[in-house]
A and B are shown apart, each in its own frame.
Chain A
Amino acid sequence: MKILRCPLNGPRNISEFACFGEVVEMPEPAETGDDAWADHVWNDNNTAGVVREWWCHLPSSTWFIAERDTVTDKILRSYPASEVYGERRDFKAGTPPT
């Protein structure tokens, strides 16, 4: 059994969590071309090494960030998202496609 520490609920079996991929900056939709948008939607760094990822503790729906090594399968650190995202980010309203 592998243990992941949820910032709200403490150490829990990793089967209670879901991984939602690397923490990446979402480009501003209204100002992003088709190629860059497709790159953001589909492509992935798929890092072999230390990654910073979104995780969710499913029973309590707690979202947070964890750092782990994808080669050694070691979890290094987990913390609330507020450590990275201090303030709310609003995206501009895009023009709907014609």
Chain B
Amino acid sequence: MAWGLLKYGFSRRYPARRDIPPTPDLKPSYDVVIIGGGGHGLATAYYLARDHGIRRVCVLEKGYLAGGNTARNTAVIRSNYITPESVRFYKESVELYDGLSAELGFNLLYSQRGQLTLAHSDATLRTFRQRAEVGRFCGTRIEMVDRKQIRELVPGLNLEMKRYPIQGGLWHPDGGTGRHDAVAWGYAARAAELGVEIHQRTEVIGLSVDNGRVTAVHTDRGMTQGGQVVQAVAGMSSQVAALARIRLPIRSFPLQAMVTQPLKPFLDPLVSSAGLHAYVSQTARGELVIGGGSDPYPLYATRSTLDLKESLIGHTLELFPFLAEVRLLRQWAGITDMTPDYSPILGASPLKNYWLDAGWGTWGFKATPVAGKRLAEAVATGKLPAILEPFRLERFRSFDLVNEMGATAASH
């Protein structure tokens, strides 16, 4: 056995496969410099190279690939928002996810098993009705469901919780999950094949600005220049933008999540309750992923707190009382870049060659493909695609916000 393994391991016919090449030296200049090697930065690089033939691209990542929010999220992918602008945008992302494993040759474990959001009050039911109508109008699969249908969708769910029994739900068959780190690695591997350079452990520490343009990007591994420069740094958006002397309507909050020990499969759809600030899904391994609302005050520390765990577990047990004996396996937090309207900031900045991919808060994983594809289009052509128009930074100057707070908080 051991001999066979060794023979196989050293055989030239089975060379070791590296997903991405080791970090090269920084070149003096690139056509596009992307700051941040999370899913968004890597997807932008991939689409620049694939769709627009722009291959002199580098991605600068201060830590390791996808070590930020890309590998910390709870992997919910959905398009059941409330404004038509958002539904159209996130719907395009859901559609891109559909063919992405095959396109990237990387198994993203994309699994579209539907998302059920629960209402515990008349007020929530009314907003669900609106989301269902808007969603149907935009061509997504979404409908209101009553208690009987909820019981059929999720047999173990406790509908009779005291004080706030479940009154109805919003059923979104398009909702699902994907393996988050695989999304980043899939994009990275294919982008690298097309010539994109990925520089891990390379922190951007300064930006030179002259005459309304970024003229140099300073890193802890030396200086480089980019014809166009993109920032996609999630929780650090304000700090990196400040290097270019740009102020953003963003505040950074920790978002915590946790995972239980593996259980026999019992939960097919994703279940989410905005009223209880909790959502639960079961992974292919059987673990339950539990997430909820943000921390109560801005912070850059990825510590976990007992306060949040207690409330999250309490609410999860209201939904599934039989989980009381189950143990937690892991807990973690990521720093999320929250905007006032719970919508992202995408597109041009006040500088001529500087682009923003920021304000993804607690909801940006699902948007990785569409943000990368459409921002690449904007950077390559210099023209903002119509689908990104609503998410311009200027909306805060004209007070033209895209309010998704109700459709985002605690349902991710």
A residues at B contact (CB < 8 Å): 1-2, 14-15, 18-19, 21, 34-35, 38-39, 41-46, 48, 70-73
Contact = CB atoms under 8 A, between A and B. Distances in A.
B contact patch SS: loop
Interface in B294-340: 296-301, 303, 305-307, 340
Nearest to B308: A15
A42 B298 contact: no
Contacts of A38: 396-397, 399
A44 B250 contact: yes
Contacts of B306: 1
B249 A43 contact: yes
Contacts of A39: 247
Contacts of A48: 238-239, 252, 300
B397 A18 contact: no
B409 interface: no
B216 interface: no
B251 interface: yes
A19 B307 CA distance: 16
B248 interface: yes
Contacts, number: 57
Interface string B244-266: 00011111100000000000000
Nearest to A13: B307
Given A1-B307, A19-B297, 8 more contacts: A21-B251, A42-B396, A44-B247, A45-B247, A48-B252, A70-B300, A72-B301, A73-B301
A49 B285 CA distance: 40
Interface string B106-124: 0000000000000000000
Contacts of B251: 21, 44, 46
A34 B340 CA distance: 18
Interface in B206-265: 238-239, 247-252
A41 B299 CA distance: 21
A23 to B, nearest CB: 14
Given A34-B397, A38-B396, A43 B248 contact: yes
A73 B251 CA distance: 15
Nearest to B397: A38
B107 to A, nearest CB: 37
A2 B307 CA distance: 9
Nearest to B254: A73
B238 A15 contact: no
Nearest to A35: B397
